[in-house]
């Protein structure tokens, strides 16, 4: 299927596909998602199949507003409500106790569900038009780079979906911050644009730590993830003549200059790694960003991308 412009007609048609149990690609402000009806087990199974994702990895459920949380969550804490009211719509995912109408397939058998209200207008229009919560993992094959532009959705995914709605380049470029607020002290399962410091300051206390060996509860914490096809190596400076991401003046056409601001860097990261993959460079050298809390999400993704499987 080809890429379509998100006209009201295209959004209505995509919503119909979702209502009929199909799968489409939708834009969000973070990355593009492989979208289906979150409450329909068969649709969700198709998404796992298309992604080649192990069924033990739960999906994120996208809803249209804070009020809609009651469609999928059994309860929410005061912390959850505070976070949602501050950051929704936006790149924040909350893990909450689930309602029984959410199929096990969506949550990989967990008794919690990950929920967010995206702020991309096309995603919001689509959720409204479909009239159901939409499950959407990033629209890439398992472990690969998340697409941040419609044209970055790879052919393996493209052939399997009825629509790729083109919402333009994603503003954020990295997946949402995931916070477990289902029990105990809230903890970050996946860092993102909304930083640990911001969340701690809103809640007025430090976030809890993720227990070691808690892999199953959050697939984004597999050691290798978000990776290009090329080997990615983090370095202080690029070896002469090699390809990669730099902060200073590029020395050849396979060296891409990155912004020194973490948000601007995030918005370009996956697109540039993909460009170097397309150029079939064998190794992508990446000049290590500052070891500063504002770079936590970028450094998390780079570390996972550089981990050898
Ligand atoms: O920005 C995003 O979050 C994008 C867009 C499309 O919304 N979606 C995305 O989905 O990144 P995915 O499937 O690639 O990543 C799902 C993440 C996992 O890494 C995991 O941390 C978390 O969601 N997750 C989902 N359900 C969970 C649950 N019940 N408990 C803990 N973590 C969960
Ligand atoms: Mg993903």
Three-class SS string for 65-96? Answer: CHHHHHHCECCCCHHHHHHHHHHCCCCEEEEE
* Predicted pLDDT of residue 221: 53
**275 pLDDT exceeds 80?**
yes
Cα angle 223, 224, 228; round to 5:
155
Q: Which atom of ligand 1 is nearest to the CA of 172?
A: 1
Quickly tell me which residue has 């083109």 as its tokens.
Answer: 166
Residue 135 CA, ligand 1 centroid: distance in Å: 10
Mean pLDDT across the stretch 213-233? 71
**112 pLDDT exceeds 60?**
yes
Residue 169 CA, ligand 2 centroid: distance in Å: 17
The ligand minimizing its distance to the Cα of 30 is 1
Atom 33 in ligand 1: residue holding the nearest Cα:
218
Residue pLDDT, tens place only, 48-85: 999 998 888 999 999 999 999 999 999 999 999 999 99
Residue 17 CA, ligand 1 centroid: distance in Å: 23
Ordered DSSP codes for 224-287: S-S--SSEEEEESSPPTT--EEESS--SSTTEEEPPSSHHHHHHHHHHHHHHHHHTT-SEEEEE
Least confident piece of the model among 244-253, 271-280, 300-309: 300-309
199 neighbors 189 (Cβ within 8 angstroms): no
Mean pLDDT across the stretch 221-240? 86
105 neighbors 57 (Cβ within 8 angstroms): no
* Predicted pLDDT of residue 215: 53
* Predicted pLDDT of residue 211: 65
Least confident piece of the model among 56-70, 189-203, 215-229, 252-266: 215-229
Residue pLDDT, tens place only, 117-127: 999 999 999 99
Residue 95 CA, ligand 1 centroid: distance in Å: 9
Atom 20 in ligand 1: residue holding the nearest Cα:
218
Q: Which atom of ligand 1 is nearest to the CA of 175?
A: 1
Q: Which atom of ligand 1 is nearest to the CA of 118?
A: 7
* Predicted pLDDT of residue 226: 77
Cis peptide before 89 (omega within 30 of 0): yes
244 neighbors 236 (Cβ within 8 angstroms): no
The ligand minimizing its distance to the Cα of 175 is 1
Residues facing residue 24 across a β-bridge:
35
Residues contacting residue 73 through CB under 8 Å, at least 6 positions apart: 96, 97, 98, 99, 113, 115
* Predicted pLDDT of residue 218: 56
Q: Which atom of ligand 1 is nearest to the CA of 139?
A: 6
Mean pLDDT across the stretch 15-33? 98
The ligand minimizing its distance to the Cα of 106 is 1
* Predicted pLDDT of residue 213: 59
Protein residues whose CB sits closer than 6 Å to any atom of ligand 1: 28, 30-31, 33, 58-60, 91, 93, 95, 107, 110, 112-114, 118, 136-138, 175-176, 178, 180, 189-190, 217-220
Among the listed residues 259, 260, 266, 257, the one whose alpha carbon sits nearest the alpha carbon of residue 297: 266
**308 pLDDT exceeds 80?**
no
* Predicted pLDDT of residue 222: 66
**219 pLDDT exceeds 90?**
no
Mean pLDDT across the stretch 90-102? 98
Q: Give this prediction's pTM.
A: 0.95
């Amino acid at each position: 299927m080809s890429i379509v412009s998100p006209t009201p007609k295209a959004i209505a048609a995509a919503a119909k596909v979702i209502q009929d149990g199909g799968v489409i690609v939708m834009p969000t402000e973070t990355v593009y998602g492989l979208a289906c009806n979150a409450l329909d087990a068969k649709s969700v199974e198709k998404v796992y199949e298309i992604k080649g994702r192990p069924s033990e990895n739960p999906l994120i459920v996208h809803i249209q507003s804070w009020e809609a949380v009651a469609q999928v969550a059994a309860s929410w804490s005061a912390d959850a409500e505070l976070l949602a009211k501050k950051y929704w719509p936006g790149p924040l995912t909350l893990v909450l106790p689930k309602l029984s109408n959410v199929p096990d397939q969506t949550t990989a058998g967990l008794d919690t569900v990950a929920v967010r209200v995206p702020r991309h207008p096309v995603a919001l229009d689509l959720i409204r038009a479909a009239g159901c919560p939409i499950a959407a993992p990033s629209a890439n094959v398992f472990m690969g780079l998340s697409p941040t532009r419609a044209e970055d959705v790879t052919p393996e995914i493209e052939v399997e979906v009825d629509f790729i709605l083109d919402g333009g380049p994603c503003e954020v470029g990295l997946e949402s911050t995931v916070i477990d607020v289902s029990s105990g002290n809230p903890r970050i399962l996946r860092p993102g644009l909304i930083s640990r410091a911001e969340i701690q300051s809103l809640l007025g206390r430090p976030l809890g730590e993720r227990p070691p060996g808690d892999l199953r509860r959050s697939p984004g914490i597999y050691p290798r993830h978000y990776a290009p096809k090329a080997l990615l190596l983090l370095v202080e400076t690029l070896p002469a003549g090699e390809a990669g991401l730099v902060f200073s003046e590029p020395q050849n056409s396979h060296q891409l200059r990155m912004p020194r601001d973490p948000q601007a860097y995030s918005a370009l990261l996956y697109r540039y790694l993909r460009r170097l993959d397309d150029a079939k460079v064998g190794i992508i050298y990446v000049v290590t960003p500052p070891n500063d809390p504002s770079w936590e999400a970028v450094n998390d993704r780079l570390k996972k991308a550089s981990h050898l499987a």
